[in-house]
Amino acid sequence: MKEHEKKRNLPFILKKGAAGRLPAVPEAALRAGRILTELLFPGRCPVCDRPVEPPGGDICGGCEGTLVRIREPRCQKCGKQLQDAGAEYCYDCGRSRHVYDRGAALYTYACIRRTIYRFKYRGRREYAVFLGRALAENLGGLILSWRPDALVPVPLHPERERDRGYNQAELLALQLGKRLGIPVLSGYLARVKNTRPQKELEGAARQNNLKKAFKIVQDDVKLNTIVIIDDIYTTGSTIDAAALECRKAGVQRVFFIALAIGKGL
């Protein structure tokens, strides 16, 4: 393609905040602008990864029904789906103790696996809008019942965040915090060790891998109750390692919310 053709093909971008500076812009023009933006930059569906159908939503009408939510009975500790309604804890939580108090996840791992993969590794940060909304609609009541002072996303190591361009757990926490009116403390906890991905490790190696991986870096806030936000809960060792540092800093109650529970990616 020749240089002048490239220029002509550059999409027209609506400037952020333009409407605020020009209060006289009629509503119809703003609406036209939004429609134009959607036509040029259609949001991708978190399930099929095609432009959302019908346009304007954050997920296709037909795709939403394919997602499988975790229902009761759930493990009273990690929130994993239980088969036996009489059981209190899942097999794992019955055998080992956790540092956190309690948590819950929204989806079964199998139904959301490919969505999370693209959300983390293929730059689909726009998925956070639907995923944050789904978390708020389905687990918002539970989160609010814990009366948290703040949501704390599981941090990425700065090098990994630089490579990826964003922290997917932070995007989820921001969407969730906005909808539930809970502050998000992205700078409270830092990842100071660039650990190997947990998916490559088993059992005890997972815990050793995370030793001293997290550190509280914002020590001017006094928090009593927090909810740690992550994308996938697997064995709980990441949440436990983060919770341990928070407890050392005086946090009394530590909960977690994850998008999915199951095997790691």
Contact residues toward Zn ion (CB under 5 A) are 45, 47-48, 60, 63, 75, 77-78, 80, 90, 93
Least distance in angstroms from the C-beta of 155 to Zn ion = 24
Structure tokens at 193: 């060790």
**Rounded Cα distance, 135 and 151, in Å:** 13
Cα dist from 116 to 18, 54, 97, 157, 231, whole Å: 33, 22, 27, 19, 7
Least distance in angstroms from the C-beta of 122 to Zn ion = 15
Least distance in angstroms from the C-beta of 260 to Zn ion = 14
The smaller minimum CB distance to Zn ion, of residues 100 and 188, is found at: 100
The smaller minimum CB distance to Zn ion, of residues 49 and 149, is found at: 49
The smaller minimum CB distance to Zn ion, of residues 8 and 97, is found at: 97
The values of phi and psi at residue 28, to 5°, are: -60, -40
Name 83's Cβ contacts closer than 8 Å, sequence gap at least 6: none
Q: What is the DSSP-derived secondary structure letter of residue 198?
A: G
Burial of 226 (0-12, 13-18, 19+ CB in 10 A): buried
**Rounded Cα distance, 190 and 241, in Å:** 12
Least distance in angstroms from the C-beta of 50 to Zn ion = 6
The smaller minimum CB distance to Zn ion, of residues 66 and 224, is found at: 66
Least distance in angstroms from the C-beta of 217 to Zn ion = 30
